[in-house]
Amino acid sequence: PWYASNTDLTIPGARGIAPGNGAAVEVVRIATGAEPQVAGKPLPPMHRETILRTGAQRPLVVGDRLDTDIEGAFNGEVDSLLVLTGVTDGATLLAAPPQHRPTYVDADLRGLLTGQPEVTGDADGGFRCGGWTATAGAERLELTGDGGALDGLRALCAAAWTAGGEQGCGLDSGKVLARLGW
């Protein structure tokens, strides 16, 4: 039997993005033609066992990858916090399909110590967070207002994910993300 702890293809490193455990898993898979049993993210067994062992009432999965960390939380039906210190960028986040959409988004682990501002919908189909309002236009996402970049990103997530539905959002986000410095 062959077991893999996770399939993260890349990891953040001091010099940028580096190969992760998933890259080694792929090499062995190609060389042997065998398929591993994945014990960790994004599959629920290790998450479930951790919850059982700790007695967690409201577990929170924290991670920097949509396809393993956040999908693991989705599969385990628990909340998640995406920290933007790793491999996920704004455009990838906005285009995420439902299983890759985090409950919360913050710049880094300090987000564990602060509350997340509420994102609200308005009658015109826009989504507000902080001083920002985001809407999904015919071809691109729109952003008006002012405030913290994370609040703008949170409002954009609501607009993009609503517009994208089950498929993920394919609208152009380059201009609004540049405005926020992402």
Position 63 in a domain: no
User: Does residue 130 sit within a domain?
Assistant: yes
Task: Compute the distance between CA of residue 39 and CA of residue 47 in angstroms, rounded to an integer.
Answer: 10
User: Looking at residue 167, what is its pLDDT?
Assistant: 86
Provide the pLDDT for residue 100. 97
Backbone angles phi, psi at 147, to 5 degrees: 145, -160
Range of the domain at 122: 117-182
Average pLDDT over residues 47-71: 93
**Can you tell me the distance from the alpha carbon of 28 to that of 36, in angstroms, rounded to the nearest whole number?**
9
- Sign of the dihedral through C-alpha 98, 94, 63, 15: positive
Instruction: Reply yes or no on whether the pLDDT at 13 is more than 90.
Output: no
CB-based contact 146:130 (threshold 8 Å): no
For residue 12, the model assigns a pLDDT of 84
Q: What is the pTM of this model?
A: 0.88
Give pLDDT tens digits for 125-164. Answer: 999 999 999 999 889 999 999 999 999 999 999 999 999 9
Q: How many domains does the chain have?
A: 1
162 in a structural domain: yes
Domain membership of residue 157 (yes or no) is yes
Across the strands, what pairs with 17? 12
